[in-house]
C-alpha cells in the first residue's frame, strides 16, 4: 500500500494519538473542517448531517454514536458522512463535560417533574424499596445505575443535544454555503482562463 507506515505504531502510541494527535489538535480540526466544506451536497443537508452527528454525541449509548448519527441522517435525508464527522464533537476530551452537563440537566428536570407530579404515595415507595432489597448485589447495581445515571443522562442528553445541534446547524449552514459559492466562482474564473 502506498500510504502505509513503515513502522507500525504500538498500542500505547495508538492510544496516545486518540488524546493527542501526532500533528496537533489544530491540524486535526482544520482537516475535519476541510472535509466538511468539500462534501458534494447542499449546505442544508451537510449542516443537518453535522447537527445529527452532534446530537448523537450527547447520547449515553457510547460506542454507537456513529451508527445513531448515520441512522438519524439517513432517516431525515441529511448527509450521512457529515453526520459521522459531526460525531467527532464527542471525543475523549469533551465527553466528561458532555456527560456532566447531561446528567445534571436530566437530574434537575426529573427533580422538578417529581415535585410537580408527586403522585407516588409512601406505600408505593415502600413496595418499590422492598423489591430492590430482595435483588442481588449486581441487580441492585444495575437498578441504581439505570435510575440514577442512565435515565437522567438520556433526558439531559436529548435536551442539551438538541440545543447543541441547533447551534451547529445555524453556524455551519452559512459557512458551508459561502464556501461553496466561492468554490463555484473560482471554477468559473479558471474555466475562462
Predicted confidence at residue 188, as pLDDT, reads: 80
Mean pLDDT rounded to a whole number for the chain: 80
What residues have CB less than 8 Å from 18, skipping those under 6 apart? 92
Q: Report the pLDDT averaged over residues 167-192.
A: 86
How far, CA to CA in Å, does 151 sit from each of 10, 134, 172?
38, 22, 31
What residues have CB less than 8 Å from 139, skipping those under 6 apart? none
Alpha carbon distance 100, 102 (integer Å): 6
Q: Is the pLDDT of residue 144 over 50?
A: yes
Predicted confidence at residue 148, as pLDDT, reads: 77
pLDDT higher at 128 or 83: 83
Element (H, E) at 165: helix 151-192
Query: Where are the domains positioned within the chain?
Result: 42-176
Name which of 105, 100, 103 is nearest 149 in CA terms: 103
**pLDDT tens digits, one per residue of 28-39:** 777 777 776 677
Alpha carbon distance 31, 37 (integer Å): 10
Among 121-125, 137-141, 166-170, 185-189, which is the least confidently predicted range? 121-125
Among 3-7, 74-78, 90-94, 142-146, which is the least confidently predicted range? 3-7
Q: pLDDT-based confidence at 3, cuts 50/70/90?
A: low
Q: pTM here?
A: 0.69
Alpha carbon distance 28, 89 (integer Å): 12
Amino acid at each position: 500500500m502506498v500510504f502505509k507506515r513503515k513502522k507500525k505504531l504500538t498500542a500505547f502510541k495508538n492510544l496516545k494519538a486518540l488524546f493527542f494527535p501526532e500533528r496537533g489538535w489544530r491540524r486535526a480540526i482544520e482537516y475535519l473542517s476541510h472535509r466538511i466544506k468539500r462534501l458534494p451536497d447542499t449546505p442544508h443537508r451537510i449542516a443537518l448531517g453535522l447537527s445529527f452527528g452532534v446530537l448523537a454525541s450527547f447520547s449515553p449509548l457510547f460506542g454507537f454514536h456513529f451508527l445513531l448519527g448515520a441512522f438519524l441522517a439517513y432517516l431525515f435525508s441529511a448527509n450521512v458522512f457529515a453526520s459521522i464527522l459531526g460525531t467527532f464533537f464527542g471525543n475523549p476530551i469533551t465527553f466528561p463535560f458532555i456527560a456532566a452537563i447531561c446528567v445534571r440537566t436530566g437530574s434537575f428536570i426529573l427533580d422538578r417533574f417529581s415535585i410537580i407530579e408527586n403522585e407516588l404515595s409512601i406505600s408505593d415507595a415502600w413496595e418499590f424499596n422492598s423489591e430492590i432489597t430482595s435483588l442481588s448485589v449486581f441487580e441492585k447495581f444495575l437498578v441504581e445505575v439505570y435510575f440514577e445515571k442512565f435515565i437522567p443522562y438520556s433526558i439531559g442528553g436529548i435536551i442539551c443535544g438538541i440545543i447543541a445541534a441547533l447551534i451547529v446547524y445555524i453556524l455551519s449552514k452559512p459557512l458551508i454555503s459561502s464556501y461553496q459559492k466561492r468554490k463555484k466562482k473560482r471554477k468559473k474564473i479558471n474555466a475562462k482562463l
